[in-house]
Structure 1
Amino acid sequence: MSKKIFYQIAKLLGIACLFATFSCRSIPKGASVVSDFDANKYVGTWYEIAQIDFKYERNLNNTAAQYSLKDNGDIKVVNSGYNYVKDKWKKREGNAKFREEKTKGALKVSFFGPFYSGYNIFALDKDYKYALIGGKNYDYLWILSREKTIPNSIKEQYLKIATNIGYDVNDLIWIDHDKENPYVK
């Protein structure tokens, strides 16, 4: 192989590596996650208070997420909600893994086999009652609560944090909780 061809191949591989690095970003640029995370306190049921609409939760309300620790250190995720268009409950199970050390709220979650996406805990109160979660980019944002409501002061605080990160909080859909979710234990 000539040196010219070798250098062209090396250049293409370098470009491909850069593309792969940036296309696999797991957190919006400039955002940071909580650094004193405790998975044992985080597990349990969380109700979605608000979320940016996306394909897998479209037409859902009464949405909740349940997290439980697995023996291997991963976190089992069960998301559920009521599809008000199809008039039926929907449930999806997934798996979350830590992207960094387990004391950081930087995880990745998958509902489709080997394909993972960022799950970033941007804010979490000291009692683990309210959380602000974002995905790999500005298309994914959730406000979660252990109850079906959230105090206005927490709501305003989390909206401010999300705005400062770069999210358009006008895109949030506020979730109704007017039915008992049969998947919530």
Structure 2
Amino acid sequence: MTDYDRFTFTMLSTLLTVCGLVASGMAACPDIPALDVFDAAQYIGHWYEIQKYPLFGENSDTCGQANYTAEADGSISLVNRGIKPDGSLDFITGTAVAKDPAHPAELTVHFDQGSVGAYNVIRTDYTASALVYSCVNVLGIKFEYAWFLSREPTMDQAVQDEYIKILSDAGSDISRLEVTLQNCGNLF
């Protein structure tokens, strides 16, 4: 094979890979319904992130944890914390509200730095674990997020397998799941 043939092959392979990635990102969001019944009062408190789909800005963070507090107006204030690769504390604060009282597990989060995101509670037993999911298409590109949350720094593997099955059965790309190390103790 000549250098020109190798270059052509490499360029064609790269183009096909990029096209595949763009096409997969342009797929419709999976239909993963949030809970019909949701009790925010039981949900508030401290949660550890066990697995997630990477989120821009926190990809390399470890020890992701969240603390939710009920507010008098019915909203939920939140603080998310993690440890950056350099050892410094990373955090973000915001407020979550139900978009529609008829769908109390479909929350909109308004972060204090100005961004807005969806936060749909798919499963929770309130005392041990929760599956949270969000997906939005922006200009034809799918942005999909999922979080496995636990009240403890670990989660039963059977529960993780159940959450993986829920995502997979709906057509979500579970190959993107990443384990979040929880070796920092409580960050709150």
Normalising by the smaller structure, the TM-score range is 0.7 to 0.9
Say if 2:122 is the partner of 1:122. Answer: yes
Partner of 2:50: 49
C-alpha contact (below 8 Å) 1:134/1:142 kept by paired residues: yes
- Give the SS at the match of 1:76: strand
Measure, in 1, the Cα distance between the counterparts of 2:115 and 2:92: 15
Describe the superposition over 1:109-167 as per-residue Cα deviations: whole angstroms up to 9, x where unpaired: 12146642211111112x44211101133521110000111111101111000112221
How far is 1:33 from its partner?
A: 0.6
Count of aligned positions: 155
Say if 2:103 is the partner of 1:98. Answer: no
Moved more, 163-172 or 41-50: 163-172
Say if 2:28 is the partner of 1:36. Answer: no
Change (3 A) 1:181 1:83: farther
Partner of 1:158: 163
Normalising by structure 2, we get a TM-score of 0.76
Normalising by structure 1, we get a TM-score of 0.77
Measure, in 2, the Cα distance between the counterparts of 1:66 and 1:102: 25
How far is 1:170 from its partner?
A: 1.3
C-alpha contact (below 8 Å) 2:53/2:147 kept by paired residues: yes
How far is 1:41 from its partner?
A: 0.2
Measure, in 1, the Cα distance between the counterparts of 2:124 and 2:100: 18
Partner of 1:71: 72
Change (3 A) 1:135 1:68: same
Aligned residue identity for 2:131? L
C-alpha contact (below 8 Å) 1:117/1:136 kept by paired residues: no
How far is 1:59 from its partner?
A: 1.1
Measure, in 1, the Cα distance between the counterparts of 2:111 and 2:57: 10
Unaligned runs of 5+ in 2: 1-27, 137-142
Which segments of structure 1 move beyond 6 Å, counting only runs of 4 or more? Answer: none
Measure, in 2, the Cα distance between the counterparts of 1:63 and 1:102: 30
Partner of 1:17: none
How far is 1:69 from its partner?
A: 0.6
Change (3 A) 1:29 1:168: closer
Partner of 1:169: 174
